[in-house]
Amino acid sequence: DTAVSQTPKYLVTQMGNDKSIKCEQNLGHDTMYWYKQDSKKFLKIMFSYNNKELIINETVPNRFSPKSPDKAHLNLHINSLELGDSAVYFCASSQAGVNQPQHFGDGTRLSIL
Amino acid sequence: EDQVTQSPEALRLQEGESSSLNCSYTVSGLRGLFWYRQDPGKGPEFLFTLYSAGEEKEKERLKATLTKKESFLHITAPKPEDSATYLCAVHSDTGRRALTFGSGTRLQVQP
């Protein structure tokens, strides 16, 4: 059973397009996250939702819009894709409360042509 | 702003050759330090959480320790299957639930 699943695994598209990445977790966690891993392998937080409520919104272009239809899903929509958006995007989830370990999906590799 | 620095960037060991990975951190009140393992094409896999200086945790050939400024991940008699990137992350008193990650140490264990 996959705990945190993301789709698609690979996404190749052209500059200017709009795309979405979906994430689902079956762990019963209340909190979900989106991270971006750049070419230097740093993982940086983008957004976090707790029970469908946005609690972290880092300095991310407003072309990126997260949506949480329920606490098991957190999708990421990106408008007007730019070359600099090329990266691996990871979804994660954790139980509510501080210091709970986060469990990650296997990432979506986004390549902008 | 929280900062996490990992060293070395890359480490090549022979099977059975023990070593340590370092994670130095600067945070405003540490709530927890996390170690993850990441295999190519996969997401980070949780290994340990350490909460206070002096704490130690072990799992198979891995042992994590914590001081007030750094954490070490000791690998005893590594095997080729221990090859991966090891990531360190911190959670601090900023009140947010996000982790601040280091850039990782790429470990290669040769048979």
Candidates A33, A41, A88: best to mutate against B (most CBs of B within 10 A) is A41
Higher pLDDT, A26 or B99: A26
Q: How far is B15 from chain A (nearest CA, A)?
A: 26
% of chain B with per-residue pLDDT over 90? 86
- Band (pLDDT 50/70/90 cuts) for residue A40 is confident
Q: Is the pLDDT of residue B97 over 70?
A: no
Q: What value does the mean pLDDT take over residues B92-108?
A: 85
Q: Please give the pLDDT value at position B96.
A: 65
Quick one: CA dihedral B87, B50, B29, B23, positive or negative?
negative
Indicate which CATH number applies to the domain containing B55: 2.60.40.10
- Specify the higher pLDDT residue, A100 or A29: A29
**Domain count of chain A?**
1
Token code pair at residue A35: 């991270």
The gap from C-alpha B97 to its chain's centroid, in whole angstroms, comes to: 19
Domain count, chain B: 1
Residue B95 confidence (pLDDT) above 60: no
Q: pLDDT (tens digit, 9 = 90+) per residue, B35-87?
A: 999 999 999 999 999 999 999 999 999 999 999 999 999 999 999 999 999 99
What is the H or E stretch that residue B20 is in? strand B19-26
The DSSP bridge pattern shows strands B45-50 and B30-38 to be antiparallel
Section B15-36 average pLDDT: 95
CATH number of the domain bearing residue A19: 2.60.40.10
Q: Which residues does chain A have within 8 Å of residue B87's beta carbon, measured at their own beta carbons? A: 43
- Contact B39/A at CB under 8 A: no
CA distance A17 to chain B (A): 25
> What is the predicted pLDDT for the residue at B2?
87
Mean pLDDT of B19-44: 94
The residue type of A45 is I
Domain holding A40, by residue range, is: 4-96+103-112
| A94–chain B Cβ distance below 8 A for any pair | yes
For residue A47, list its beta bridge partners.
A34, A57
| Å between A112 CA and nearest CA of chain B | 18
The DSSP secondary-structure symbol of B12 reads E
Domain span at B42: 3-110
Q: Which residue has the tokens 């480490």?
A: B11
B101 → closest Cβ in A43, A103, A107: A43
DSSP secondary structure of A51-86? TTEEEEE-S--TTEEEEEEETTEEEEEE-S--GGG-
Alpha-carbon distance of B98 to A34, in angstroms, equals 10
